[in-house]
Structures are given as structure tokens and as C-alpha cells.
Amino acid sequence: MTAPGTRAQAPAEDTDDLDVEEALALVRDAHRENRGDGAGDGTGQVPVPAAQTPGERPAARHRATPWPQARETAARAARTRTRRAPVSVPLGEALGLVLAAPLDALTDLPSFDTSAMDGWAVAGPGPWHVREEGVLAGHAQPEPLTDGEAVRIATGARIPADTTAVLRSEHGRTDAQGRLHATRDMLHGQDIRPRGQECRSGDQLLPVGTLVTPAVLGLAAAAGYDTVTAVPRPRTEVLVLGDELLTEGLPHDGLIRDALGPMLPPWLRALGADVIAVRRIGDDARALHKAVTGSTADLIITTGGTAAGPVDHVHPTLARIGAELLVDGVKVRPGHPMLLARTKDDQHLVGLPGNPLAAVSGLLTLAEPLLRTLAAHPAPEPYTLPLKEAVQGHPYDTRLVPVVLRGDLAVPLHYNGPAMLRGIAAADALAVVPPGGARQGEETELLDLPWATAGIGVCFT
């Protein structure tokens, strides 16, 4: 297999001699990791390796990338090569995007003096004679007041000229002659929102790089914007590989239900991507080559086929098109045989393992940092919580374990084998367990799942 950071090459005809134990280990790893994570099927049983073709020699062992470095490589890959032009986006479609131009005030806010309360606009000291017609929001400029005069006014309505204050409804009473009296002392300008109180035309309201939240949308609308200039959503295409996958009904006759086809598109949308297509390729090398070379997406996601089995076509396809392998295997369980490649200057491919939880691992390890960079989102602040119970680790690799958060503790979940989704479906986060495992009470880094956070990047539309 190819070392990370190099051009993908077709399999060599021969390799340097390997000792027997290493050769057997390579064969076992290839079959364990084929469409999986290299950690078995969650039952503790290791599949028996298939017999080698006579004369066939195992490929040289490549160096998998440490998990933290793999995430950094994915984030950096999009930053160093990709240049994405800002777009003008209607307010209704901008939630979760990042501003690519400052949000400057187009007018004074408020754009005229307005009433802050329901009550009366009054001029001079009381008592006041009340006009018959009131002033409502949305109406033209009312007639000016004269001293000793008042007029009924609604919240948000334009203040008549020469108004000295607004008397709240609950703070006024009328006498038998119909004159208005204040029941409390009043201050000049009370409950009047003066023009430009929030901003003046030309003021910068928000800088470049601001995440568009519901409040930002509200401010933009109040300031008169119909669209905002933002970094576009990364365009993602999903290629589902595997002849053994069913799209409906119960598993039967060696066929299994496809879990990744339904799971990945909404997950990618939750990470801020625009999923432009989901294609079912099967185990067809020609179809995979055509789909990859014909894709216009910023990021291509493939499922399965990243190891070295007889129908694992991802590496040969990348070699055929001259892609640059940036990450070829990661020291993480589940998900060890994931990969990241640059297929064009402005396009990347993340190859996910076929086992569902292993695919989730690849999604959060490689796809999430790359998408985050493409969308110009800031990296989340890392945080830790103590584990409620000890977690067994892998001897050499990082392990990602589903957890639920209970107060100030992270509770590890069962059903965390590479082919299992039962644990992650109930989880709030993934605990990053270092090689060797973690003790009960040990502080452990957590990766939040997008729907379990308050971040506005969670967008399923």
C-alpha cells in the first residue's frame, strides 16, 4: 500500500522479503479490515483469512497515520489548496454559513424615533388633552404635538414631532374632564427609542467569519438585508459500494441491509455539507472510476472497499487517476482502513470503511475536519470529562467509544463493535481513548455528535 502523502501507485509485482509471522499478520489484517475496522465483528472472533493465490506476495506494510495527525491533515488539506468563491445567499438559506463579507448597517437602526411602549406620546408637563385618533405602528409620520397635548401610541409607532416622553398605559389615568394624568414621575425622553440608538448607517454590525445564527438572520433582516455574502456549503457526493447491500427488507441469503446510505447524507448535512448525490456503485471498478472522475463535488465519500480484498477498488481507482494519498490508514479503532486523497486541486475523497461504526469513525476523523475547513467554521474547543468506568484500549491505536453524558461524567456504552450502530444511536459523544485504555475517573477527550450540541452548524435542511 502507498505511504501517506504520495501519489497512489498500482500494486507492485513483488516486494521485499517478509518474515513468515509478518506475512501472516498482513493477511489477517487485510481480511479483518476489509469493509471493517480491523477489530473483528464485535464478538471477539477473528475471521479466518482466505488462502493466498499461489505465488501471491503480500504488499509491504504501510505506516498508518496517528489519529490526531490524521485530523490535522484533513483540516489542513482543504485550507492549503481549495479556493472557494463567496456566494450571495437568501436569508432563509443562510443558517449555519459563515459570513464572507462584513454585515454593515444599511440605515440607522431604528430608522426613526419610535415608541418603546404602548401608552401616550405627550408634550410638555401634564395634565394633557388627548387627541381622538391614535398613532399605530407602520403608519406615516403623525402630526406634531403641542404643549399640553397627548396622543395614544402603540409600541413601534413613529413618535410625533415635539414629543417629550411616552407615558406607559399602566402609568396614566384620565379624569372626569377627559384629561390625562401621570401616576408616576416621568423623565424627558422616557420610553422613546431614538433614531440610530442601535447603529448608524455604515457601522459594521458583524465582521467576516461570523457564524450565521438565528439571531444574525434577525439582525440582517432588521438592517434591511435580503441576502448575505457567505462561504458556500461544501458540496458532497456519497458513493455506496458493495454488491451485498440491500436497500429494503430483511437481510437474507448472505445479503445485508445498507446502513450507510440512509445514515451518511443527513449526517453530512448536520456537518454543514450540501449532499448533491447518493450513488450506489456496488463492486464495479469501472462504475467507481466513472463516478469519481465525473464528480463535481468538493468532497467525495466512498463506503467500503478501502482495504486490500478482491473487490476493494478504491485504492486501484485512486492509483489509476493519479490521486495524491494524504492519509492511508489511521491508527484508530474502529475505522483503521480509512483514507483521504486529493483527487483534484479543488476536490478530495474520503474513503470510509464499510462497517457502520467504523464508517462513523472515519466520518469524524477525516470528513468532519475537512468539511469544517471548507465551510470556514472554527474548530470546536476541545473538552474532557472523567469516565464513569474504565475502558479497555487498543495496544497501539486510539479507540473511539460511544458515550452518554450524565452530569459531569461520560458513561461508556456497550455495543461498540465496528459493525454495530446500537451504541452510537444512543450516544451523545465519542470518547477518545488513548492507546492502552483509560481508567475509571480518568479525564478523556470527547467528540460531540452534531445533533447533541447546541452549535448552529447542526443543519438538517
Residues 217 and 185 in one domain: no
- Whether 38 maps to a domain, the answer reads yes
Query: Are the C-beta atoms of residues 150 and 180 closer than 8 Å to each other?
Result: yes
Strands 409-412 and 87-90: unpaired
Residues 333 and 358 in one domain: yes
- Whether 1 maps to a domain, the answer reads no
pLDDT recorded at residue 248: 76
* Calpha distance 231→208 (Å, rounded): 10
CATH number, domain with residue 350: 3.40.980.10
Residues 102 and 211 in one domain: yes
For residue 286, give the H/E element and its range.
helix 285-294
Q: Which residues contact 430 (CB under 8 A, 6 or more apart)?
A: 360, 361, 364, 400, 401, 402, 403, 424, 446, 447, 449
Nearest to 435 by CA among 26, 31, 64: 64
Residues 149 and 255 in one domain: no
Nearest to 416 by CA among 82, 44, 76: 44
Quote the radius of gyration of the chain (alpha carbons, Å).
31
Residues 55 and 163 in one domain: no
Query: Are the C-beta atoms of residues 256 and 244 closer than 8 Å to each other?
Result: yes
Nearest to 292 by CA among 266, 271, 274, 314: 314
- Whether 151 maps to a domain, the answer reads yes
Residues 204 and 163 in one domain: no
Residues 60 and 140 in one domain: no
Residues 337 and 393 in one domain: no
Residues 259 and 370 in one domain: yes
* Residues of the chain under the 70 pLDDT cut: 1-62, 80-83, 246, 453-461
Residues 390 and 367 in one domain: no
- Whether 461 maps to a domain, the answer reads no
Q: Which residues span the domain enclosing 390?
A: 384-452
pLDDT recorded at residue 428: 95
Identify whether 334 is preceded by a cis peptide bond (ω within 30 of 0). Answer: yes
For residue 7, give the H/E element and its range.
strand 6-7
Domain boundary among 322, 355, 374: 374
* Calpha distance 327→8 (Å, rounded): 11
- Whether 131 maps to a domain, the answer reads yes
pLDDT recorded at residue 34: 39
Residues 91 and 227 in one domain: yes
Q: Which residues contact 345 (CB under 8 A, 6 or more apart)?
A: 81, 82
* Calpha distance 107→72 (Å, rounded): 43
Residues 259 and 347 in one domain: yes
Backbone angle region of 329, left / alpha / beta, with phi > 0 → left and psi within -120 to 50 → alpha: left
Query: Are the C-beta atoms of residues 222 and 83 closer than 8 Å to each other?
Result: no
- Whether 154 maps to a domain, the answer reads yes
* Calpha distance 364→450 (Å, rounded): 10
Q: Which residues contact 262 (CB under 8 A, 6 or more apart)?
A: none
